[in-house]
Structure 1
């Protein structure tokens, strides 16, 4: 288990209340990227809430100070070939504990929970789907990767939506393409969208794409209407 690296008074997550009391209740949980913070990710969380106004949104704070910026990292990215998977597993276990606390506080179950991760946060979200499948019904991974290969006979219960910018020079699209192949071979309900002209960032176009995939999942029957693997030309809205 990973030791608690928080200092006294540090937040576990930043919570945004529902925008509407009459809309369906859900829990949207966001895992920000490396070197970032919950406050920096709030605009994305708010953009998602506009599509799910009855949802409580929680941006979870990463675990360790970043060596490259003033923000936080989920795990030490150095020496990715040595101990990388173990560090991601430890981060996912801590997120699972915080999710349990969030769900207890809001009265919302894993079946009503959507986890959205970006970059390092997406990698942790994918590991969470494997280690704690009951924590969320849907995982959206922007610019993520699998920390370890899918084992023979392994099943991944949550629906997974992989989204990647075609021009991402920080995390190449090959990582999402490889993750898609492995998850699909394991029988996972998984989709992959490569957004043409998009980089290592989440603009309004990618928010729209992610929320659309989640809505397609919630309103079943999407399997006849969407391609599980697609290339989309998108424009980042100002």
Structure 2
């Protein structure tokens, strides 16, 4: 099986990692794209090890760009097939990281952006032992139709999306929320005013707050609600 890796940032406390945040970047980016979030978040999450692997496939014609799966169009069957094919590589990476740091699923949060959000939701909801949480920016839910029969755990989920996103318009977030409800789960969601396909200051703040709560085990049952 293909191995993946990427940039890391150790706990700001200087001690051993007590929790793990895994960033999953979007199409055409690489691990460096999201590891920069670790700096500001580390102030609130001092015992967290951050890691941001490069996706397994390079993007043709885009030096330094990677993809979790090829994405020629936003076709539901294509994204479902792509997430399923990439899932074993990501699952293996996550298991390796937990072993590396001596942590369990309840110590791990997945943070995805765009295509990385698709991967975080796909793998995180099919994990039998639930992760601490899933935070998704500017993403979508792939494989909505099959999720009800495949969901294996219900970790807290938060979805954040800009209302000016022209790459994955805001409707994809609401579609994801509906899909989670159909599968017997839910999510918190937030709309970032004036933000295109990216992460705004409000998303940074809410994301840090969400991670702090889920990694401390102080997050309640997930329902559909906006914040």
Residue 173 of structure 2 aligns to a residue whose secondary structure is helix
**Pair 1:61-2:54 in alignment:** yes
Decide whether the 8 Å contact of 2:177 with 2:224 is kept in 1. no
**Pair 1:230-2:217 in alignment:** no
Residue 13 of structure 1 aligns to a residue whose secondary structure is coil
Per-residue deviation, 1:46: 2.1
Partner residue of 1:183 out of 175, 180, 199: 180
Of residues 160-169 and 209-218 in structure 1, the stretch that sits farther from structure 2 once superposed is 209-218
Superposed, 1:58-207 pairs within 5 Å as 58-67=51-60, 69-70=62-63, 71-81=65-75, 82-134=77-129, 136-151=131-146, 152=148, 155=151, 156-207=153-204
Decide whether the 8 Å contact of 1:26 with 1:113 is kept in 2. yes
Structure number with greater CO (CA < 8 Å, separation at least 6) is 2
Per-residue deviation, 1:84: 2.8
For structure 1, list consecutive stretches of 5 or more residues without a partner in the other structure: 232-238
Per-residue deviation, 1:206: 1.3
Partner residue of 2:218 out of 217, 220, 226: 220
Of residues 17-26 and 203-212 in structure 1, the stretch that sits farther from structure 2 once superposed is 17-26
Aligned residues: 222
What is the distance in 2 between the residues matched to 1:127 and 1:139? 10
What is the distance in 2 between the residues matched to 1:182 and 1:221? 21
**TM-score normalised per structure 1:** 0.83
For structure 2, list consecutive stretches of 5 or more residues without a partner in the other structure: none
**TM-score normalised per structure 2:** 0.86
What is the distance in 2 between the residues matched to 1:219 and 1:147? 27
What is the distance in 1 between the residues matched to 2:212 and 2:43? 13
Cα distance change of structure 1 residues 197 and 83 upon mapping to structure 2, 3 Å threshold: closer
Per-residue deviation, 1:214: 2.7
Per-residue deviation, 1:69: 2.6
What is the distance in 1 between the residues matched to 2:149 and 2:68? 28
Deviations 1:184-221 (A, max 9, x none): 23332421111111111123331111111233444636
